[in-house]
């Protein structure tokens, strides 16, 4: 199985942040007045303000740093652990681990990134495919490997902000990045030419990173990448393309992307409930101002999004469950729910033990189990812990998340789940197509 993975890959510098570290960065009297999510990080105060906001709300976010000088100051202010980051890089590693042959876009490959990629991942180089180490050696300078600063925080951490005090309501992470390479979705000439020349040999493409685009020149960059996806699909109509959304820098960028998607066409679109709410609001698919929070709200919003874009599959991952809507086509409800279960298990294993290969925790999320039970009462067919409901030419599948009480890792879980699901879906599509 050959899969394209584009566009973002980087180093993740991870820090388990504590209250005392933040109090050392700003005077206490300023902290209580400055909590809020910024549109960009131009100074240290913006970083702390945005991070405190996410900790107070228990929410995640990803914001760009304005300058390399500020990025250097942030790097010096905390103690970091380096891990593989970037949607495409993480998903390529998962696919390689599952036995697929991923081809990765990595225009800024250096020795540190190469060491974190599985040797089975391949990078186009002068018309051929090279291992990560060989690709890194071919680069003259590995010092520009992009780094994203990931601040992990845990439920129950008590934060003192001036006179105010709050407790973090749930585990999550905040990401601050100075990354001109991935934020403009750069791809190497080797990658572009290789993929187009050999596109008929690929079974699928996992595409992400559009949420990193800044407001400057986003229209030109989006059009360029949509043209690339269209050229792949035109040359190989059977190429199964999944696009994963993210936390966009501006609603304008997400809105323009949604307008462009029918041009490709994309086969599958993935997001969390906040991103679904943003997309539904921009497309005027909902009168609600807040993001959908229950499966009863998520399913109709996802249905309207699916119809508006004209797409085969829409998936939504939440803390409690993963659900998807597929039309009648190359995947059965049984295939889809098995794929979703694979994603749930992979993410839970990684969160609980740090390894996707470990056995997942046995317990399931209570809210997810309740949602699956509700669907079964509406006539859905149970399969394992999940349920599948077929109605009106559409199949709704829902699988509860596993329960991870003390997560070791909170970053990359969605990418791990997405890649595992995508692998199983491609396997099912190949099986259902029969011999060629």
What is the tens place of the pLDDT at every residue in 24-49?
Answer: 665 555 555 568 899 889 998 899 88
pLDDT at 356 over 90: no
φ/ψ of 213, rounded to 5, equals -65, 135
Q: Which of 414, 301, 290 is nearest to 347 (CA)?
A: 414
pLDDT tens-digit series, residues 257-302: 999 999 888 999 999 998 998 898 888 765 455 666 789 999 999 9
Q: How confident is the model at residue 141 (pLDDT cuts 50, 70, 90)?
A: low
Q: Judge contact between 147 and 178, C-beta under 8 A.
A: yes
| pLDDT at residue 287, rounded to an integer | 46
| pLDDT at residue 33, rounded to an integer | 58
pLDDT at 400 over 90: yes
8-state DSSP, 80: -
Q: Judge contact between 428 and 331, C-beta under 8 A.
A: yes
| Degrees, nearest 5: CA angle 342-344-346 | 65
Q: Judge contact between 207 and 242, C-beta under 8 A.
A: yes
Percent of the chain with pLDDT over 70: 93
10 Å CB burial of residue 402 (0-12, 13-18, 19+) is: buried
Distance from C-alpha of 183 to C-alpha of 192, rounded to nearest angstrom: 18
Topology of domain 10-84+142-178 in CATH is: Adenosine kinase, small domain (3.30.1110)
Residue range(s) in the chain whose domain bears CATH number 3.30.1110.20:
10-84+142-178
| pLDDT at residue 25, rounded to an integer | 66
| pLDDT at residue 265, rounded to an integer | 85
Those residues whose C-beta lies under 8 Å from the C-beta of residue 121, and which sit 6 or more positions away, are: 92, 93, 96, 102, 104, 131, 132
pLDDT tens-digit series, residues 325-336: 999 889 999 999
Residue whose entry in the numeric block shows the structure tokens 């086509």: 329
pLDDT tens-digit series, residues 68-112: 899 999 988 889 999 999 999 999 999 999 999 999 999 989 899
Q: Judge contact between 285 and 332, C-beta under 8 A.
A: no
| pLDDT at residue 355, rounded to an integer | 87
Distance from C-alpha of 247 to C-alpha of 212, rounded to nearest angstrom: 8
255 versus 410: which is more confidently predicted? Answer: 255
pLDDT at 177 over 80: yes
pLDDT tens-digit series, residues 361-373: 999 999 999 999 9
| Degrees, nearest 5: CA angle 370-299-5 | 105
142 versus 398: which is more confidently predicted? Answer: 398
| pLDDT at residue 20, rounded to an integer | 73
**Rounded mean pLDDT of 215-221?**
91
**Rounded mean pLDDT of 165-192?**
91
pLDDT tens-digit series, residues 344-353: 999 999 999 9
| pLDDT at residue 24, rounded to an integer | 67
pTM of the entire predicted model = 0.89
| pLDDT at residue 259, rounded to an integer | 92
Distance from C-alpha of 21 to C-alpha of 19, rounded to nearest angstrom: 5
Torsion of CA 332, 333, 334, 339, to 10 degrees: 90
């Amino acid at each position: 199985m050959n899969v394209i993975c584009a566009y973002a890959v980087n180093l993740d510098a991870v820090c388990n942040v504590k209250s005392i570290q933040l109090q050392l960065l700003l005077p206490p009297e300023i902290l209580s007045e400055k909590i809020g999510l910024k549109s960009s990080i131009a100074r240290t105060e913006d970083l702390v303000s945005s991070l405190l906001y996410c900790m107070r709300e228990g929410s995640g976010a990803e914001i760009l740093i304005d300058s390399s000088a500020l990025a250097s100051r942030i790097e010096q202010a905390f103690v970091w652990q380096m891990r593989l980051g970037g949607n495409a890089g993480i998903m390529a590693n998962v696919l390689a681990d599952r036995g697929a042959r991923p081809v990765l876009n990595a225009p800024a490959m250096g020795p540190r990134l190469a060491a974190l990629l599985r040797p089975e991942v391949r990078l186009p180089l002068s018309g051929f495919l090279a291992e990560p180490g060989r690709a890194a050696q071919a680069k003259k300078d590995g010092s520009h490997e992009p780094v994203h600063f990931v601040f992990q925080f845990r439920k129950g951490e008590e934060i003192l902000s001036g006179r105010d005090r709050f407790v973090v309501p749930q585990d999550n992470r905040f990401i601050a990045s100075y990354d001109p390479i991935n934020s403009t979705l750069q791809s190497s000439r080797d990658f572009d030419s290789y993929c187009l020349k050999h596109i008929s040999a690929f079974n699928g493409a996992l595409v992400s990173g559009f949420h990193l685009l800044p407001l400057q020149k986003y229209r030109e960059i989006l059009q360029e990448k949509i043209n690339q996806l269209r050229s792949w699909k035109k040359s190989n109509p059977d190429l199964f393309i999944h696009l994963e959304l993210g936390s966009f820098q501006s609603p304008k960028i997400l809105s323009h992307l949604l307008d462009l998607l029918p041009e490709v066409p994309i086969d599958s679109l993935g997001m969390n409930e906040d991103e679904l709410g943003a997309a539904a609001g921009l497309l005027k698919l909902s009168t609600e101002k807040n993001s959908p929070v229950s499966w009863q709200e998520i399913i109709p919003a996802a249905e309207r999004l699916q119809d508006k874009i004209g797409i085969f599959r829409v998936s939504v991952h939440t803390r409690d469950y993963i659900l998807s809507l597929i039309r009648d086509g190359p995947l059965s409800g049984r295939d889809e729910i098995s794929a979703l279960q694979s994603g749930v298990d992979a993410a839970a294993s990684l969160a609980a033990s740090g390894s996707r290969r470990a056995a997942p925790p046995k317990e399931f999320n209570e809210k997810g189990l309740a949602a699956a039970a509700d669907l079964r009462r509406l006539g859905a067919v149970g399969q394992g812990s999940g349920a599948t409901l077929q109605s009106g030419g559409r199949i709704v599948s829902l699988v509860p998340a596993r329960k991870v009480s003390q997560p070791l890792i909170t970053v990359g879980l969605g990418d791990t789940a997405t890649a595992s699901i995508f692998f199983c879906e491609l396997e099912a599509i190949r099986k259902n197509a029969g011999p060629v």
